[in-house]
Structure 1
Amino acid sequence: MRRSPREAPPGEAAAPPGSTINAVTDAAPARRPLPVWPLAGALVAAVVVAAVALRLGGGVRIVEVPGLPTADPVVAWLLPVAKLVGDLSAALTIGCLVAAAFFVRSADGRIGAQAYRWLRVGALSGALWVAASLVILPANYADLMAWPLSNVTTEGLWSFIVDTENGTAYALTAFLALLAAVIAGRTFTVTGAAVAAILAILAVLPPVFTGHSAASGNHQIAVDSMVLHVVGAALWVGGLAALLLARRDRAEVAARYSRLALACFGAVALSGVINAATRIESLDYLATTDYGREVTLKALALIVLGAVGYWHRAHTLPKVGETNAFRRLAAAELVVMGATFGLAVALGRTPPPPTAPRDETAARSLLGFDLPGPVSAKAILVDWYPEIIVCTVALTAITLYLLGVRRLRKRGDAWSAVRTALWIAGWCLAIFVTSSGMGRYGMVLFSIHMVQHMTINMLVPILLVLSAPITLALRALKPVRDGRGPREWLTLVLHSKPVKFVSHPLIALGIYVASLYMMYFTGLFYWAMKSHAGHLMMLAHFLAAGSLFFWLLIGPDPAPRNIPYPARVLMMFVAVAFHAIFGLTVMQSTDLLAADWYNALGRTWGDTPMADQRAGGGIAWAFGEAPSLVVLVALLAQWSKSEDKEARRLDRAAKRAQETGRPEEDPHEVYNAYLAELAEKDRAAGLRD
């Protein structure tokens, strides 16, 4: 959809003939330029700090080694500069797109004038982000090969993109950022802005899985914490930039951003501490190494930003529409954020401190931790290895659920304590199977992995769907009159075409069953074991597929389709049958699944990988019986309750028809008349014969 040059932005009156109103401004006499000086200040601070830190920290130092090619100094500077431009433009893109989708009100799902401006800025910064990513690709390749850029060929660059994780990651970032920029430049709806924002957030993730964090010891913890760090920083910094670009409704925008900023500050601070702890083994390194000093400076900058944020909430936010104090302080805050981004880029090029000598075995290189000893109850219960993202999602979900229950009870509404307990139990179970000792052994033993799979795919979803989170959200969230709040977004998603499609019983059953076979009988399982990104996607898919399936079967929450109870029972038995077939197939297989992975670990204790796989197949075959029994009991109970409810409804209708003297509205009489009509037709047919 295109606008004519005279068409006003959404939410504004159309331009009269002869006026100079266009798609991105108010009336020409009142035109005000975008306040870009805070953005320029942040850029200058980022570049200056990055240059100083790179020079002092050795990030661009060229070391000549006899017999090896010498790195090109131009590439040594070009790569961090391109990454800095990419990081800053990514934050601005994400901030503007999130603001356009969620920070201002909308009429009938269409964006207003302020959101339109944010989308245009987001599209432009997204294009810059794409350009920076396309510069990073050849610069990364040249840096890896210690070549000048002139030596990079198209064929070699393509091989770098296809055959290396680093090249693939930045190519994927460029592709997703391009999609986000194109959608931002073309859409005029809030839904389109939200889609663009989601794509932009996803676009910052691929390089996280291939950087310093992915190469460090305990790389699962390092990568997970870096994911939270990068996303939190982008939302925090980009959101503030979008707020400074706002021309109207600044008080409302600031209030919504303030809640987001507080959450982002907590995520960035906690994840930063966790990530630094995976690389800095001694506190002395914070003062005695270049890497430690840069980490210390980042921590100090974060403390300053936290203090500024507190001052905002206490003093400037209540008067955001009355004075310029908020704008001046926020601009200074953005400059500090830019400097912090410069430090982060330099940190990514600075060698981490030395670690204690240890045997670098194949297992440690693959797992990120030493190969554990034989399985024991003590090892499972005591030797935890946190899956940071799962823990974060679980604790956030529990907190939001409890806040919803609290809101209901404050206004006098009841909520089942059993449902609350089920929700907490479900997420605690997810934490246990992914972050306890099972998290370690699940990467080493197929049998333990299968226990994890069945728990995440069956037990956890059953507990979660029975807790009715959608019903709680719809009752606890307040509706927004003119625009979309959380309740409106939830309703929109529930009634969207994709949700209606996947909630078809055959589609949901197919996803639940087919994903089992596709994961283990293709190369996906090996990829999910050797790649942490793949492992996270596998866990997310199993949880989502199980939640979708059991939501349709036994979920008390409203669903797009009302499936008859006999069909639900049939779906359950079909799923159980396919699970049993899968388990038997694995037990009888003579081919080792993910053989390269399990053989490379070099495990010398316990069963052989083949015997352990057979045990895993037996677990898959037998594990489903107890959850299936729970589901069947719940189904029969719901079916009986539904029949009783329908009977009471019919009795009320019959009583109402009797009281009003209108027997034609009595459902029993209507049904009897229908049976009599059928009998009369059969009698007439018999007479003709």
Structure 2
Amino acid sequence: MLTDVMLPSFPDWFRFDPTGASPIVAVAALLLCGWYVYGAIWMWTHGRRWAIPRTIAFILGCALMFVIATFGVNRYASVSLTALMFQQITAMTVIPPLLIAGSPGRLLLRSTPHHGAGRLVLRAAHAGLRSRWARALLHPLMPIAIALAMFPALYLTDLISLVMATRVGADLLLAFFLVAGIVAAVPLWSSDPLPRAPSFPARLVDIFVEIQIHAVLGLVLIRAGTPLFAAYATPQQGSDPGYDQAIAGMLLWTYAELPLLIVLIVCLSRWRSRDRRRARVNESHEDAELVAYNAYLEQIDQKSRPR
């Protein structure tokens, strides 16, 4: 009976719980936020423009990183599939767009001094951006490969139970969620110049495939009559594992799909804007050619008139 179900209270997910923190992600969030704020302040104090909305987006992304790594949701992720799915979706589809919207690469290039240690940092950044690894990670098929690896391969094989069996495995998995989410999101969200810029049709294919992957896995979790994962098959604090699993599936159908729908709208809008810019450029070229042709005809007409 659903009335007997006792899942971990949702407000408990957002209570600071340092005893169950994931140190890798928590420290990374603090370091990234500190570096970004320092870079933004350096830009402003040196009279250079840097957008405040970008700064807010990046800081918000770092704050969410810290929350999912140090608050109660991280501790509950080992006993509740709903908490784990919420944490994973946040790490893979919510945080990366916020970090990318902050344009950290552009800030690094503009705020790093071009002498001393800063020169070495800039050289390393340029080398990494132009490397084969960067082009491989930005391949149009990479977001699809990551979605397949992080959802069907991780859950439909019950590999998630093996990984979540240890604290180290859970911490490394959360860090991998974030890295994989950023790699998958850069081709879809980034507006900065990239060594490999996927076409808009390729981006749309990526989005549609990811939406279908979430929908299929969510349906499997919702419709399964028994718990699918050994690590989450034992009732915790009187909770029903089947109900907890169904709620996790609903998160895939709702919470995981919303960012993809937003990026779909953004992608279509950018595609339309690019086509309009190209149309204006072509129109201006055609107008210039028409003016030149009319001037040429007028010149011929003047030469043909009797004097």
TM-score, normalising length: structure 1: 0.39
Matched, 1:544 2:176: no
Distance, in Å, in 1 between the alignment partners of 2:7 and 2:210 is: 34
Task: Please tell me whether Structure 1 or Structure 2 has the larger radius of gyration of its CA atoms.
Answer: 1
Distance, in Å, in 2 between the alignment partners of 1:662 and 1:614 is: 69
Deviation of residue 444 (structure 1)? Answer: 1.3
Distance, in Å, in 2 between the alignment partners of 1:502 and 1:393 is: 21
Superposed counterparts of 1:466-615, under 5 Å:
466-479=101-114, 485-590=120-225, 592-595=227-230, 597-599=231-233, 603-606=236-239, 608-615=240-247
Percentage identity across aligned positions? Answer: 28
Compared with structure 1, are the counterparts of its residues 649 and 473 closer, same or farther at alpha carbon in structure 2 (3 Å cutoff)?
farther
Q: Give the aligned partner of residue 51 of structure 1.
A: none
If asked which structure has higher relative contact order (CA below 8 Å, sep 6+), I would say 2
TM-score, normalising length: structure 2: 0.82
Distance, in Å, in 2 between the alignment partners of 1:511 and 1:473 is: 27
Distance, in Å, in 2 between the alignment partners of 1:658 and 1:407 is: 50
Distance, in Å, in 2 between the alignment partners of 1:410 and 1:641 is: 34
Query: CA offsets per residue over residues 59-105 of structure 1, 9 Å max, x none?
Result: xxxxxxxxxxxxxxxxxxxxxxxxxxxxxxxxxxxxxxxxxxxxxxx
SS of 1:504 mapped into structure 2: coil
2:214 and 2:257 in contact (8 A); partners too? no
Matched, 1:632 2:264: yes
AA aligned to 2:156 is: F
Deviation of residue 584 (structure 1)? Answer: 0.9
Distance, in Å, in 2 between the alignment partners of 1:421 and 1:506 is: 31
SS of 2:151 mapped into structure 1: helix
SS of 1:623 mapped into structure 2: coil
Compared with structure 1, are the counterparts of its residues 533 and 662 closer, same or farther at alpha carbon in structure 2 (3 Å cutoff)?
farther
Distance, in Å, in 2 between the alignment partners of 1:473 and 1:451 is: 31
Q: Give the aligned partner of residue 397 of structure 1.
A: 32
Distance, in Å, in 2 between the alignment partners of 1:655 and 1:390 is: 56
Superposed counterparts of 1:197-276, under 5 Å:
none
Distance, in Å, in 2 between the alignment partners of 1:530 and 1:398 is: 31
Unaligned runs of 5+ in 2: 1-5, 295-307
Matched, 1:460 2:92: no
2:16 and 2:70 in contact (8 A); partners too? no
Compared with structure 1, are the counterparts of its residues 520 and 476 closer, same or farther at alpha carbon in structure 2 (3 Å cutoff)?
same
SS of 1:556 mapped into structure 2: coil
Deviation of residue 652 (structure 1)? Answer: 6.1
Compared with structure 1, are the counterparts of its residues 645 and 477 closer, same or farther at alpha carbon in structure 2 (3 Å cutoff)?
farther
Matched, 1:642 2:274: yes
AA aligned to 1:398 is: C
RMSD over aligned Cα atoms: 2.8
Superposed counterparts of 1:648-687, under 5 Å:
648-650=280-282
AA aligned to 1:623 is: Y
Deviation of residue 643 (structure 1)? Answer: 2.9
Deviation of residue 622 (structure 1)? Answer: 2.2
Deviation of residue 419 (structure 1)? Answer: 1.1
Deviation of residue 487 (structure 1)? Answer: 1.4
> What is the aligned length?
287
Distance, in Å, in 1 between the alignment partners of 2:75 and 2:59 is: 23
Matched, 1:381 2:14: yes
AA aligned to 2:213 is: F
Q: Give the aligned partner of residue 297 of structure 2.
A: none
Compared with structure 1, are the counterparts of its residues 657 and 476 closer, same or farther at alpha carbon in structure 2 (3 Å cutoff)?
farther
Q: Give the aligned partner of residue 262 of structure 1.
A: none
Superposed counterparts of 1:104-503, under 5 Å:
375-382=8-15, 384-385=17-18, 386-479=21-114, 485-503=120-138
Query: CA offsets per residue over residues 200-239 of structure 1, 9 Å max, x none?
Result: xxxxxxxxxxxxxxxxxxxxxxxxxxxxxxxxxxxxxxxx
AA aligned to 1:624 is: A
Compared with structure 1, are the counterparts of its residues 533 and 489 closer, same or farther at alpha carbon in structure 2 (3 Å cutoff)?
same
Deviation of residue 580 (structure 1)? Answer: 0.4
1:480 and 1:488 in contact (8 A); partners too? no
Distance, in Å, in 1 between the alignment partners of 2:212 and 2:7 is: 33
Unaligned runs of 5+ in 1: 1-372, 664-689
1:471 and 1:558 in contact (8 A); partners too? no
Match among 228, 231, 249 for residue 617 of structure 1: 249
SS of 1:530 mapped into structure 2: coil
Deviation of residue 530 (structure 1)? Answer: 1.4
